Chains A and B, each alone.
Chain A
Amino acid sequence: MRDQEHIIARARRGDADAFEQLVEAYRNQVFRLALRMCGNEADADEVAQEAFLSAWKGLPNFRGESRFSTWLYQLTTHAAIDLMRREKRQAAAEDIDGITAADDGPSPQQQAERAETRREVRSALMQLPEEYRQVLLLRFMQELSYEEIGQALKLPEGTVKSRLNRAKAQLKDILSRSGNLFGAVSVIHTEQRGKEVQP
Chain B
Amino acid sequence: MNREERENDVLEQLLRESLASDAEPAEDFTARLMEQVRRTPQEKAKKQPYQKILAALAACAVIAAAIPLVMPRASNQAATSADSAAPEMWEEANGADTADNQLVYSTAPTNSSEEDFDAAGQQDRKQDYGAGDTVTLTGQEAGVAREALEAMAVEPISAGDGSVVYDLTREQAAALGETVDALHGIDGGVTLILEVEE
**A→B interface (CB under 8 Å):** 14, 16, 19-20, 23-24, 27-28, 31-32, 35-36, 41, 44-45, 48-49, 52-53, 56-61, 63, 96, 98-100, 114, 117-119, 121-122, 125, 136-137, 140-141, 168, 171-172, 175, 181, 184-185, 188
For the complex with contacts A117-B14, A141-B21, A188-B13, 5 further pairs of A-B residues with Cβ separation under 8 Å are: A28-B23, A49-B33, A57-B41, A60-B43, A100-B22
Which residues of B in the span 133-166 have a Cβ within 8 Å of any Cβ on A?
none
With A136-B15, A137-B19 in contact, do A48 and B10 touch (Cβ < 8 Å)?
no
Q: Do B25 and A121 touch (CB < 8 A)?
A: no
Q: Do B33 and A23 touch (CB < 8 A)?
A: yes
Contact of A121 among B8, B18, B36 (CB under 8 A): B18
Q: Does B30 make an interface contact (CB < 8 A)? A: yes
A122 to B48, CA, bound (A): 42
A141 to B43, CA, bound (A): 30
Interface residues contributed by chain B, number (CB under 8 Å): 36
Give the Cβ gap from A149 to chain B, nearest Cβ, in Å: 14
A27 to B24, CA, bound (A): 8
Q: Which residues of A contact B15 (CB under 8 A)?
A: 121, 125, 136, 140, 171
Q: Which residue of B lies closest to A120 (CB)?
A: B18
Q: Which residues of A contact B18 (CB under 8 A)?
A: 98, 117-119, 121-122, 125
A103 to B20, CA, bound (A): 17
Q: Does B128 make an interface contact (CB < 8 A)? A: no
Q: Which residues of B contact A60 (CB under 8 A)?
A: 42-45
With A23-B34, A45-B26, A52-B33 in contact, do A96 and B21 touch (Cβ < 8 Å)?
yes
Q: Count how many pairs of residues, one from A and one from B, have CB atoms less than 8 Å apart in the complex.
A: 125
Which residues of B in the span 42-79 have a Cβ within 8 Å of any Cβ on A?
42-46, 48
Q: Which residues of A contact B92 (CB under 8 A)?
A: none
Give the Cβ gap from A165 to chain B, nearest Cβ, in Å: 9
Q: Does B17 make an interface contact (CB < 8 A)? A: yes
**B→A interface (CB under 8 Å):** 6-8, 10-26, 29-30, 32-34, 36-38, 40-46, 48
Q: Which residues of A contact B26 (CB under 8 A)?
A: 45
A107 to B36, CA, bound (A): 48
Q: Which residues of B contact A31 (CB under 8 A)?
A: 23-25, 29
Q: Do B11 and A168 touch (CB < 8 A)?
A: yes
8 A/B residue pairs, CB under 8 Å, sorted by A:
A20-B30, A35-B23, A36-B21, A60-B45, A61-B43, A61-B46, A140-B16, A188-B14
Q: Do B23 and A57 touch (CB < 8 A)?
A: no
Contact of A172 among B7, B16, B45 (CB under 8 A): B7
Q: Which residue of A lies closest to B43 (CB)?
A: A57
Chain B CB within 10 A, most for which of A60, A98, A117: A98
Q: Which residue of B lies closest to A168 (CB)?
A: B11
Give the Cβ gap from B42 to chain A, nearest Cβ, in Å: 5
Q: Which residues of B contact A100 (CB under 8 A)?
A: 22
With A136-B15, A168-B11 in contact, do A53 and B25 touch (Cβ < 8 Å)?
no
A36 to B45, CA, bound (A): 32
Q: Which residues of B contact A41 (CB under 8 A)?
A: 23
Chain A CB within 10 A, most for which of B16, B25, B29: B25
Q: Which residues of B contact A35 (CB under 8 A)?
A: 21, 23
